[in-house]
Amino acid sequence: MTVSFSLCRRSLLICAALLVVVGLVVAAGVIPPVEADTFALATPQGAVRASWINVASQFLAAIAGGHMQSLRDRSFTPGS
């Protein structure tokens, strides 16, 4: 079975776009409520830092996927 390289590139672009969307959702929808948490045992500083690291990781993975899709067009057989 031969998989076209354009299908792989398209899949990488879709994954990169989804990673950007997840990063934006975390940045806009998760971090502000965590930052505003007033529960006595909450540690929002660490949670906010971890959330920003998550957002940065999502964006770096999206950049890597976007870059990988620009490779030369060729056909390949999975498992070889």
Instruction: Provide the pLDDT for residue 23.
Output: 93
Residue 75 lies in a domain: no
Domain extent for 61: 5-68
Q: Give the per-residue pLDDT at 38.
A: 83
* pLDDT level of residue 53 (50, 70, 90 thresholds): very high
Q: Say if 79 falls within a structural domain.
A: no
**How high is the pLDDT of residue 74?**
55
Phi/psi of residue 38, nearest 5 degrees: -115, 10
Q: How confident is the model at residue 75 (pLDDT cuts 50, 70, 90)?
A: low
Predicted local confidence at residue 43, as pLDDT: 84
Task: Examine residue 34 and state whether it is found in any structural domain, yes or no.
Answer: yes
27 part of a folded domain: yes
Q: Is 76 helix (H, G, I), strand (E, B) or coil?
A: strand
Report the Cα–Cα distance between both ends of the chain, in Å, rounded.
11
Is 63 inside any structural domain?
Answer: yes
Total number of domains in the chain: 1
Q: Give 29's pLDDT tier (boundaries 50, 70, 90).
A: very high
Say if 60 falls within a structural domain: yes
Q: Kindly state whether residue 36 falls inside one of the protein's structural domains.
A: yes
In terms of phi and psi (left: phi > 0; alpha: psi -120 to 50; beta: otherwise), the region of 79 is: left
Report the alpha-carbon distance of residue 79 to residue 69 in Å, rounded: 19
